[in-house]
Copies of this chain bind each other. A is one copy, B any other.
Amino acid sequence: MRSGDQDEPADPAVLRDRFGTALQGFLAAQRVVLDRIGPDLAPVADAAERLVLRGGKRLRPAFAYWGWRAAGGADGDEIVTAEASLELLHAGALIHDDVMNASETRRGHPAAHRAFTAAHRDEAWHGDPAAFGTAAAILLGDLCLVWADAMLAASGLGPAALGRGRPTYDAMRTEVMAGQYLDVLEQASGGGSVERALRVARYKSATYTVERPLQLGAALAGDRPPLQAAFTGFGLPLGEAFQLRDDVLGVFGDPSATGKPAGDDLREGKRTVLIALADQHATAGQAALLRARLGDRGLDSGGIAALREVITATGALDEVESMIERRCADALRALTGTPMASQAEPALRRLAESATARTA
């Protein structure tokens, strides 16, 4: 299972596979628990595996793993299992996010609530198929949230390490839920300034995806305040850049790469930094078009093209691209001169690139 010698350069694909193997083992054990309660729970186990084992970049476990290594922690299956548990937390958040946004797809497949809705329809069951789909997905998300901390606790790391990681872990979970709430609130209130949109990005994504995982890894390995501070200097701007890239992909991304339909964020009326900037620079005509079409569930390819045109013509797209660039540079600068284990710095630089690449 080990990726090799401590001094050998780590292969990101190998690390990803090890996270996948740990998740597979944990979910297989949960399937047995569910099956003991009743064989009709198999679709719940199936849905969890479909989402969690389908892949993705496993960014949060990777940042957490390199936080651990940077702080001098040795490679081992325990830390891989502990960090892989962040994918279950993320799965719970995604499943609930898709319910809240009434999203059709996730990672190129039907979102969990849509899959349960389809099952209800196929079986010609009683009641509203969509209500069943929503209920089942809420419970599946709850299970993933609960399994996340169960997997972390059962990782094999000792109680002292787990105790050191706790405050960061709890802060991270509270922040992502709070950020999600602020996101929902921002859409309801019709969106506001760039500053407000950046605050949402910070909590629902920047701390949760980069800063906190790094700090969690480092805390599990031992308390090193200077490293934790460097991780804030690296993690916050990089995390914001990650979310800004996600916002751009949500409007301009290729569906085959994002796993979401083209222009999905436009249809959902997401109040991102990109949109706040477009709104700020829009002419009266452009502003009217934004108001009229953003959040229109029936938006077709013509409507998407028109909105993309406004976002480009106002200069919002270029501005977000320079914000991403600036933040990436700030992040990388924060790494320079921070004492950490030898392999960690190149690994973190590579992760930064992967998290903000122009293709999903």
* Chain A residues packing against B (C-beta within 8 Å): 30, 33-34, 37-38, 40-41, 44, 92-93, 96, 99-100, 102, 120, 123, 125-127, 131-132, 134-136, 138-143, 145-147, 149-150, 153-154, 159-160, 162-163, 166, 170-171, 173-175, 177-182, 184-185, 187-190, 199, 203, 269, 295
**Cβ-defined contact, B138 with A99, below 8 A:** yes
Task: Choose among A100, A132, A150, A185 the residue with the greatest number of B CB atoms under 10 Å from its CB.
Answer: A185
Indicate if the CB atoms of A38 and B174 lie closer than 8 Å: no
Q: In the complex, what residues of B have CB within 8 A of residue A37's CB? A: 175, 178-179, 182, 203
A184: chain B residues within 8 A (beta carbon) = 132, 135-136, 139
Partner of A142, one of B92, B143, B150, B269: B92
Minimal Cβ-Cβ distance residue in B for A143: B177
Residue of B nearest to A200 (CB): B38
CB distance from A311 to the nearest CB of B (A): 19
Instruction: Indicate which residue in B41, B131, B138, B143 contacts A182 across the interface (CB closer than 8 Å).
Output: B41
Residues of B with C-beta under 8 A to A177: 139, 142-143, 146
Contact check, A150 vs B132: say whether CB atoms are below 8 A apart: no
Contact check, A166 vs B139: say whether CB atoms are below 8 A apart: no
Contacts of A44 in B (CB 8 A): 178, 181
The answer to whether A125 and B189 touch across the interface, beta carbons within 8 angstroms, is yes
22 examples of A-B residue contacts, CB within 8 angstroms:
A33-B171, A37-B182, A38-B178, A40-B185, A96-B142, A99-B138, A100-B134, A125-B190, A126-B188, A126-B269, A127-B188, A127-B295, A136-B184, A138-B141, A142-B142, A142-B177, A145-B145, A146-B170, A150-B166, A154-B166, A159-B159, A159-B160
Residues of chain B within 8 A of A147, CB atoms compared: 174
Contacts of A100 in B (CB 8 A): 131, 134-135, 138-139
> When the two chains form their complex, are residues A269 and B149 in contact, meaning their CB atoms are under 8 A apart?
no
Known A-B contacts: A92-B142, A150-B173, A153-B166. Give 16 more (CB < 8 A): A34-B178, A40-B185, A41-B178, A93-B142, A100-B134, A100-B135, A125-B189, A125-B190, A126-B187, A126-B190, A126-B269, A127-B187, A127-B295, A145-B146, A146-B174, A146-B177
* Nearest-CB residue, chain B, relative to A159: B159
CA distance A179 to B38 in the complex (A): 9
Report chain B residues within 8 Å CB of A174: 30, 33-34, 143, 146-147
Cα A189 to Cα B179 with chains together (Å): 37
- A125/B40 in contact, CB under 8 A: no
Q: Which residues of B contact A182 (CB under 8 A)?
A: 37-38, 40-41
Q: Which residues of B contact A102 (CB under 8 A)?
A: 131
**Complex interface: chain B residues within 8 A of A92 (CB):** 142
The distance in angstroms between the C-alpha atoms of A120 and B149, with both chains bound, is 33
Residue of B nearest to A119 (CB): B188
Q: Give A144's nearest chain B residue, CB to CB.
A: B177
Q: With a CB–CB cut-off of 8 A, which chain B residues contact A175?
A: 37
Q: Please give me the residue from chain B that is nearest to A44 by CB atom.
A: B181
Quick one: closest B residue to A96, CB to CB?
Answer: B138
Chain B residues lying within 8 Å of A135, measured Cβ to Cβ, are: 100, 184
